[in-house]
Chains A and B, each alone.
Chain A
Amino acid sequence: MNFDLSDDQVALRDAIRRRCEERFDSTRVRAGFDAAMFAELADAGVFSLRADGFGWADASLVFQELGRALVPGPLVWSHLAHGVVEGVVAGVERPPAGQAVLVEHLEHLDTLVVLGDDGVVAVPADELRGAVPLDWPLDPLTPLHRAEALPETTPVGDAAMARTWRQAGAVLVAAYQTGMAHACAERATEYGLARHQFNRPVGSFQAVKHLLADLAVRAEVARAAVDAAACHLDDPEIGDVDRAVRAAKCLAGEAALANAKGSLQVHGGIGFTWDVDVHLFLKRAWLLNTAFGSPDEHAEALAS
């Protein structure tokens, strides 16, 4: 039994954490995703990890750290597409015929991939130039364009690839959300220590302390689920991969959302302002809960 990070994995996690702290602080993150950020992440190996010989468990660790820093961008899609479609890649589920789609980060995209049950197709971003930007997107760090229809497309992968991408995408998003949940717990705890009311840190009050304890527990349980799901992707013989993936996406999605809201509560009034990052975590949590299946969808499938 060996379900804990190896020394190499600890080194990997620490390296990417250091990189995030040095290069992707709050100011840089708030400036949003761009080509320079993509190049820097690519240079760090974020998209080529598995081609470089790392496993899904390792990729999951890296995405946990990216989520902890709330690094913006179509990172999961670009990771999935590495080796199939080069450059900056975002993706969507294939919409029902005639329905508009919201495309993330279109300004910086090379390609949009569309995931359907029968396979994966690619749309060059140039062909989406007619799409209209949303002037007030929910998540300010995820700019959106509305495309009324998707143009004719080129197949780049079969149904098996679509299935793999769905599972791996769910795990990487869950990993990212687990990192977000930890960041929310950590930042709220720091604030609970720093903020004084009634001549003492608010985190000393049990009403606040218990809320903070719940955030920490939720994040840790989600991490166990995500690490287990990633291990299942690496070693499918150990159990039911689909079940492990769904559990991870369900718990991590709920943890990211609940912890962002808990962090907002601990921060009090300042948490309701634009200047503090809390709302960015909360809005991203909602956004990511629509990617690769919502917690409710996965929960229902788990019981079916």
Chain B
Amino acid sequence: MPREAYAPALMDLRLSDSDDAFRARLRDWLARTLPELPTPPARDDWPGRVRFDTDWQRRLFEAGYAGLSWPAAYGGQDAAPSEQLLFLEETTRAEAPYVGVNFVGTLHAGPTLIAEGNDEQKAAHLPRILRGEEVWCQCFSEPEAGSDLAGLRTRAVRDGDDYVVSGQKIWCSFGHVGEYGELLARTDPDAPKHRGISWLILPMDLPGIEVRPIETLLGSSEFCEVFLDEVRVPVTNRVGAEHDGWRVTNVTLSFERGTAFVSEMVDARRLAEELRAHVSGSAERRELGHVLAQLDALWALTIRNVTQSSRGVTGPGALMFKLAYTDARDRLGELSMRVLGRGAFDVHDYRVEERLRTLSLPIAAGTSQVQRNIIGERLLGLPREQPWDGAATRSAAR
């Protein structure tokens, strides 16, 4: 072992001085700002929610906290991944507003435009997204294209300076309040499925667009169905090259820098801590202890992922996080229901609402089964399962 040249352990869980200073400034700003906020709107008051969330985004912008992960050249803060983590941790702890209707714009569409948009597209949208002047929604999934997103069928046929778009989208976050949509549509039906897709900016007020909110098992939600009937989208709204939309979509993921679940984690740990006072008996205490241990470990794993991300490394933990968090959150949700007993019959108890909301975790943004495939194939090097041959299977069964 190389004992002579050895420096004392460098792995630690401490904040650097600059991280500490960032946190102190942020806490100070939150303490001054949060009491000034208007009363949060009711859950189904969508005009009110748009006003409230975009007002919050404007305040973030004015204080220099908008677009933390965005490059400075586009009005962002170029913040270190550790500062992004601290921002999410501190704002969630302080019960500041969530990103809300600004989610798609600030965390998905904006980063995509930064990476792949042309100068006009960047100038038209990026400053407005940062200032809370523009709300975006996502139009990716389709009824027949969920886990197999690249199998999407919505067609965009070139006609002069327009694409004529027809098809159906589902699970469009904020579809009913978005002014612009991120649209994936098939521009080359004859190419292999990943190579015939284009990424388009969809102004949601174009003729031929119909939006219907989806009633989830929670009642109403931010999800919508979007029906597109010969919608004429200017070719100048295409982001990236024609037929190259699949790659454009995948560029965006690298902006998260391991912080995607930080707010969720802070909330989950708070819920678990609150359960301490309510568990009784060995079985419930053990289950809570397991959940606390899992959440503590996942917090450490978050810090590890962020550390690695700031060094430009993607470690195994980045691919594993969602699956592990989903499991911990399910155990926490079930324990809440057990502890609440008949108290869980009223969904106004936020713990019950959270139990219902988190049922989407193993499904949304890559099901747990897809996550396991990704871990098995990309990380462990296991071969893909054989392609399905429907015809052969049917004839064998006959």
Q: CB within 8 Å of B: which residues of A? A: 1-6, 8-9, 11-12, 15-16, 44-45, 52-55, 57-58, 189, 192-193, 200-201, 203-206, 209-210, 212-214, 216-217, 220-222, 224-225, 227-228, 231-232, 234-235, 238-239, 243-244, 246-248, 250-251, 254, 295-296, 298-304
A-B pairs with the 8 shortest C-beta distances?
Answer: A299-B289, A6-B10, A302-B289, A225-B297, A247-B293, A209-B376, A228-B300, A303-B288
Q: List 9 A-B contacts (CB under 8 A).
A: A6-B10, A45-B1, A205-B385, A212-B380, A212-B382, A213-B372, A216-B375, A216-B379, A298-B289
Asked if B394 is an interface residue, CB under 8 A from chain A, the answer is no
Complex: how many Å from CA A193 to CA B308? Answer: 29
Complex: chain B residue closest to A55, CB-CB: B9
Q: A204–B2 contact, CB under 8 A?
A: no
| Interface size class of chain B, counting residues whose CB lies under 8 Å from the partner chain | 35 or more
Q: Is the interface of B mostly helix, strand, loop or mixed?
A: helix
Inside 8 A of B301's CB, which chain A residues have their CB? Answer: 220-221, 224
Q: Contact check: which of B286, B304, B380 meets A303 at CB < 8 Å?
A: B286
Q: B13–A217 contact, CB under 8 A?
A: no
Q: A204–B1 contact, CB under 8 A?
A: no
Q: B317–A210 contact, CB under 8 A?
A: no
Chain A binder among B14-22, B61-69, B179-187, B351-359: B14-22
Given contacts A204-B383, A209-B382, A300-B282, 9 further A-B contacts (CB under 8 A): A57-B9, A210-B369, A213-B323, A216-B375, A234-B9, A239-B13, A247-B297, A295-B290, A304-B285
Q: B382–A299 contact, CB under 8 A?
A: no
Q: A3–B298 contact, CB under 8 A?
A: no
Q: A1–B85 contact, CB under 8 A?
A: yes
Q: Contact check: which of A192, A224, A299 meets B286 at CB < 8 Å?
A: A299
Asked if B218 is an interface residue, CB under 8 A from chain A, the answer is no
Complex: how many Å from CA A302 to CA B276? Answer: 9
Inside 8 A of B294's CB, which chain A residues have their CB? Answer: 221, 251
Produce 1/0 per residue, B273-309, CB < 8 A to A. Answer: 0001001001011111110111011101101101110
Q: Contact check: which of A206, A296, A301 meets B385 at CB < 8 Å?
A: A206
Complex: how many Å from CA A213 to CA B376? Answer: 5
Produce 1/0 per residue, B307-324, CB < 8 A to A. Answer: 110110001110010011
Inside 8 A of B298's CB, which chain A residues have their CB? Answer: 221, 224
Inside 8 A of B3's CB, which chain A residues have their CB? Answer: 45, 52-53
Complex: how many Å from CA A85 to CA B22? Answer: 48
Asked if B217 is an interface residue, CB under 8 A from chain A, the answer is no
Shortest CB distance A218–B (Å): 8
Inside 8 A of B6's CB, which chain A residues have their CB? Answer: 8, 12, 53-54
Q: A244–B296 contact, CB under 8 A?
A: yes
Complex: how many Å from CA A104 to CA B371? Answer: 42
Q: A250–B289 contact, CB under 8 A?
A: yes
Q: A238–B300 contact, CB under 8 A?
A: no
Q: Contact check: which of B282, B293, B323 meets A302 at CB < 8 Å?
A: B293
Q: Contact check: which of A44, A189, A205, A217 meets B320 at CB < 8 Å?
A: A217
Inside 8 A of B385's CB, which chain A residues have their CB? Answer: 204-206, 209
